[in-house]
Chains A and B, each alone.
Chain A
Amino acid sequence: MVAEKQSKFKWGMAIDIDKCTGCQACVLACQAENNIPINTEDNFKDARGIEWIRVERYWEGEFPDVKAKFIPILCMHCDNAPCEPVCPVYASYHTVEGLNVQVYNRCVGTRYCANGCPYLVRFFNYWEPEWPESFQNQLNPDVTVRSRGIMEKCTMCIQRIRRGTRKAKRDNNEVMDGDISPACVQACPTDAMVFGNQKDPNSKINKMKNDKRSYTLLDHLKTNSNVWYLAKVDEDTDTHSKEGGH
């Protein structure tokens, strides 16, 4: 087993559902940053589209009294991840910084992890990814292009985390809150998503995760998710809106 070194970092994310407008900028940013193959309509019909982050839409109420709610769903980087123990080749791997990453060169494509994941955020490459000729030079050189037969998932933009920590170490600085942001967080126009170090007591994410509106998805499965959601504030249903939430 990997020796658990005490790391200065434990990464996490908080998403304020109340601020999310469902604009899909995070989805697009992720697609561009992480060399995700282009999904066609047929891919989605076959339920084989690859989206490391997706925005789920929920309608509440009857027309015309209808409300929309958007929940961006990405890998929860669970502390107690159901995808990890099922991997026969240890390709689903937990880093000392609290991230759950996929080691592509170990992966043999059993897809056990995707079946184990309750959030449905692991994706299998059923085809060799292809880009049009004009897109060849837009691929991110810091991210592996996953070939056919490999499982892939959100890495919380590990290439950006490594770049940020490297830069801080070089300048003899501490990594400040907000120095590092994954592509989705950077792209979010309403700042609904916040990424940060949970071991930093003053970080924004620590405040958000201790907010009374905060909850984690599928909490009863005890996955100890590292992505927190802040519930939508609804003045109609929450008569005491200050005490509302989950």
Chain B
Amino acid sequence: MKKLLDILYAPLYLAAGIVEIIKEKDKTTPTWLKLLAPVLALGGLGIFAVLSFIQAFVMTAWLGNPLPVLGFDQSPDQPISFPHTIHAGVGPLVDTETGEPYMSISGQPRINDDGTAMEGLGMDCTYCHKQVSEQAWAGVPPVELCVSCHRVIGEQSNADLKALRNYGLYEETKSPINWERVHRMPDHVRFVHAPHIWYLTENPDAIQNKPLGFKTLPDGTVAISQVCSTCHGNVAGMEQVWQDQPLKMGQCVACHRANEASVGCETCHH
């Protein structure tokens, strides 16, 4: 930290040194050096100001949406490594870009015993995130919903499933799962899921980052699970969910403008 400050203050030190020279050897100093001193000092201050401004700008931008360095990977570890790939993925679980099978959090490739890629279950997003079309929050399902299937489904030896059964099945260890939140709006933003779902299901043209196997229903609308990727990216391809889109105000306003939605401040800030 001190070194960093030293570097930043370097122009000031330089200017101070020149002033010292001028004071000590006033009679012998040539005129051009006397003139140069204030120019250097002012120039140094100017550069210092500009650099501080850029630094402040970069720091605030980074704090608002940290880059994936120094542990700010926007993909926090969850108490149970729930793979969206298996549950929500459709077709063989391979990365669309590389063609490689997805790797689980524990490092196991998602392949069957015979070496072929596993098939996703293709569950609908709203099976678990039920409230998304009615409420402000998409909602995380209660652990009872998980164990309604995983009471019987899944290997007995799997550590995550063991933990899940402890959370959901046995009276002495029963408790809700303390999931780490991935998408969090600042406190001064009110985002309501429901109207966005209503609009996008009826206006499929506005959907961005369309998911794999995107299909429109005969009446021109789409299913609820087809619109999530506009803001959340391809969650079905995430072993551990990360924030795909920046979700900054600029993105919100651009989409609201494009779709002629309200752009007044009171729309989200109240």
Query: Interface on A for B, CB 8 Å cutoff?
Result: 2, 93, 95-96, 99, 101, 103-106, 141-145, 155, 158-159, 162, 166, 169-170
Contact = CB atoms under 8 A, between A and B. Distances in A.
A153 B30 CA distance: 65
Q: Is the contact region of chain A dominated by helix, strand, or loop, or is it mixed? A: loop
Nearest to B134: A170
Interface in B177-201: 186-188, 190, 192, 194-195, 198
Contact of A144 (B136, B188, B198): B188
Contacts of A155: 266, 270
B195 A144 contact: no
B265 A103 contact: yes
Nearest 5 interchain pairs by C-beta: A105-B188, A103-B265, A158-B270, A101-B266, A95-B266
A101 B194 CA distance: 24
B264 A95 contact: yes
A161 to B, nearest CB: 9
A226 to B, nearest CB: 15
Contacts of B269: 103-105, 144
Contacts of A169: 195
Contact of A166 (B187, B188, B192): B192
A144 B264 contact: no
A103 B265 CA distance: 7
Interface string B198-230: 100000000000000000000000000000000
Given A142-B136, A145-B187, A166 B195 contact: yes
A166 B270 contact: no
A138 B263 CA distance: 30
B266 A93 contact: yes
A96 B265 CA distance: 10
Interface in B121-146: 136
A159 B270 contact: yes
Contacts of A141: 136
Q: Is the contact region of chain B dominated by helix, strand, or loop, or is it mixed? A: loop
Contact of B187 (A96, A101, A144): A144
Nearest to B269: A103
13 contacts: A2-B264, A93-B265, A93-B266, A96-B264, A101-B266, A101-B270, A103-B269, A105-B188, A105-B269, A144-B188, A144-B270, A155-B270, A162-B270
Interface string B96-132: 0000000000000000000000000000000000000
Interface in B149-164: none
A143 B136 CA distance: 13
A36 to B, nearest CB: 14
Contacts of A145: 187
Contacts of A158: 266, 270
A21 B65 CA distance: 52
A142 B190 contact: yes
Given A93-B264, A105-B269, 9 more contacts: A96-B264, A99-B266, A101-B270, A103-B269, A106-B265, A142-B190, A144-B269, A155-B270, A159-B190
A103 to B, nearest CB: 5
B253 to A, nearest CB: 13
A170 B198 CA distance: 8
